[in-house]
């Protein structure tokens, strides 16, 4: 009976041990695990590549049980849609996010301001700036009328919401949008726009250890001491796509692709022009996929490219070429929808469009000339096909003798003279009866065809040679 009571007592004790943690108050300090501190970098114009990269960073943070994500920011702005995706990812991160404007002379302006404000902790390096978030038109001009009020009010609401949820200064958030207000790192700290100043990443991590986070989404104290820092750079593919995600690069790639195809149509050969042209065209389209484009602009570009290629198939006396060039110029300046940018507007520049279009025009004229020459030049048939061939001397040339070429014996004349067994090059077919004008080869070669071999392509020449003594034409 005593053993049974003892077992019952141990059972209640074990049950209490399992249930007790549920009745204890939650600790405000984040449990220190073995996870790393992930360090991401957002540098340059904000675009879909960077938004996708940041999403992958947070997936990695979840998989590695990271204790925090630090995002180094240095950007003049970028695309609105990409900025919104990045802000959403930061706000909904399962781990604390620290936004850090670095290095010295770096900036977080326009769309970059919102990314910094979204962090659980915002920090800056002395000598950096934040602000200038007033929206502008596609060419940098001020937006006028009701559209300005609509855009400004939307951005003000978003900026103030981020600041208030993080218990930061909402006045700056509003003025950064309405009045393009700028602050230095020191001013931002004094006015409560950011939380910390740090000279570099190690200094920031040291100051973050034990830093409290208290807002509606998170209530904890950061524990970073002893955790390794894991840099998460752009992958090789992401770096390449980010490098070509530029209107000028996309335009040049597509233009090179078209020139490759034009060359292939004008002088068909081993297909090098088609291969290089196709690769450049595909890379150009990949680049455009990461940019905000006008459908009308891309259609005009495609129309221009098609016209240039058709010039080699349809005789238009240059009309298709002129129309294609005009379509290229119009499509170039309509290609990018600059209204999708929030700072750091990327547009097509005259310094890129004009030289490229002129280059295409010159290349097209050159290709047309090659095509015309190929169509109008007579084919090398009959006796003319012997010119350029290598012949073997059968009777010494002093200066007249006999040579063997293209499966037949010919009378030949060589001013330099040549001995039996040496090789000469055919320069011309002359005289009546026919004989070959040849020159001695400094480096002996081999005859084009061995004795007794006569190809179908030289049957006409062979018939001409079989008419007189020693196979000479009468």
Taking a C-beta distance cutoff of 8 angstroms, is the pair 238, 52 a contact?
yes
Dist. CA 365–CA 263, nearest whole Å:
11
Mean pLDDT by 10 residues, the chain (474 residues): 42 39 39 78 93 94 94 92 93 94 94 94 96 66 57 85 89 90 94 95 95 84 93 93 88 87 70 84 88 86 85 76 88 78 65 83 74 56 76 92 89 90 90 86 54 41 43 38
Domains and CATH numbers, the chain: 32-235 (3.90.226.10), 246-376 (no CATH), 382-465 (2.40.50.140)
For CA atoms 464, 468, 469, 472, give the dihedral sign: negative
DSSP assignment of 380-431 equals --GGGGGTT-EEEEEE-BSSEEEEEETTEEEEEE-TT-B-TT-EEEEEEEET
And the tokens for 229? 């820092």
Dist. CA 84–CA 86, nearest whole Å:
5
Q: How many helices and strands (H and E) does the chain possess? A: 15, 18
Torsion of CA 122, 128, 133, 134, to 10 degrees: 150
Dist. CA 34–CA 100, nearest whole Å:
23
Helix (H) or strand (E) holding 63: helix 48-63
Give percent helix, percent strand, percent coil of the chain, each to the nearest 5. Answer: 45, 20, 35
Provide the whole-model pTM.
Answer: 0.67
C-alpha angle with apex 49: 45 to 54, nearest 5 degrees?
95
First to last CA, the chain: 137
Chain center to CA of 207: 39
Burial of 279 per CB tally in 10 Å (0-12, 13-18, 19+): middle
- DSSP 8-state code for residue 339: G
Question: Does a cis peptide bond (omega within 30 degrees of 0) precede residue 210?
Answer: no
């Amino acid at each position: 009976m005593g053993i049974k009571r003892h077992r019952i007592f141990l059972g209640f004790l074990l049950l209490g041990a399992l249930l007790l943690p549920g009745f204890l108050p939650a600790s405000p300090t984040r449990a220190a695990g073995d996870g790393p501190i992930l360090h991401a970098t957002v540098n340059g114009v904000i675009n879909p590549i960077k938004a996708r990269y940041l999403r992958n960073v947070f997936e990695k943070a979840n998989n590695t049980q990271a204790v925090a994500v630090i995002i180094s920011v240095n950007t003049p702005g970028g695309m609105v849609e990409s900025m919104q995706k990045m802000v959403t990812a930061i706000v909904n991160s399962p781990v604390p996010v620290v936004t850090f404007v670095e290095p010295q002379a770096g900036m977080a302006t326009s769309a970059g301001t919102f990314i910094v404000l979204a962090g659980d902790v915002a920090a800056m390096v002395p000598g950096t700036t934040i602000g200038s978030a007033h929206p502008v038109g596609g060419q940098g001009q001020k937006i006028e009328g009701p559209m300005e009020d609509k855009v400004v009010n939307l951005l003000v609401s978003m900026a103030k919401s981020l600041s208030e949820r993080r218990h930061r200064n909402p006045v700056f958030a509003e003025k950064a949008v309405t009045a393009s207000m700028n602050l230095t790192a020191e001013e931002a700290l004094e006015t409560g726009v950011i939380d910390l100043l740090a000279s570099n990443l190690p200094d920031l991590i040291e100051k973050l250890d034990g830093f409290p986070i208290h807002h509606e989404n998170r209530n904890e104290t950061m524990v970073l001491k002893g955790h390794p820092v894991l840099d998460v750079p752009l992958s090789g593919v992401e770096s390449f796509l980010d490098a070509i995600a530029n209107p000028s690069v996309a335009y040049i790639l597509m233009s090179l692709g078209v020139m490759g195809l034009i060359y292939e149509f004008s002088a068909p050969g081993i297909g090098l022009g088609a291969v290089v042209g196709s690769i450049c065209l595909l890379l150009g389209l990949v680049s455009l996929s990461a940019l905000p484009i006008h459908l009308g602009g891309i259609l005009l570009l495609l129309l221009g490219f098609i016209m240039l290629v058709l010039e080699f198939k349809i005789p238009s006396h240059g009309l298709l070429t002129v129309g294609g060039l005009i379509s290229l110029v119009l499509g170039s300046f309509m290609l990018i929808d600059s209204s999708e940018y929030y700072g750091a507007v990327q547009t097509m520049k005259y310094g890129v469009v004009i030289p490229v279009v002129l280059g295409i025009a010159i290349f097209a004229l050159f290709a047309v000339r090659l095509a015309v020459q190929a169509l109008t030049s007579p084919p090398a048939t009959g006796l003319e096909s012997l010119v350029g061939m290598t012949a073997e001397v059968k009777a010494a040339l002093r200066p007249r003798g006999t040579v063997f070429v293209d499966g037949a014996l010919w009378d030949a004349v060589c001013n330099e003279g040549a001995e039996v067994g040496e090789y000469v090059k055919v320069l011309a077919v002359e005289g009546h009866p026919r004989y070959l004008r040849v020159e001695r080869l400094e480096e002996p070669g081999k005859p084009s065809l061995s004795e007794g071999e006569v190809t179908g392509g030289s049957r006409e020449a062979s018939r001409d040679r079989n008419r007189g003594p020693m196979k000479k034409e009468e």
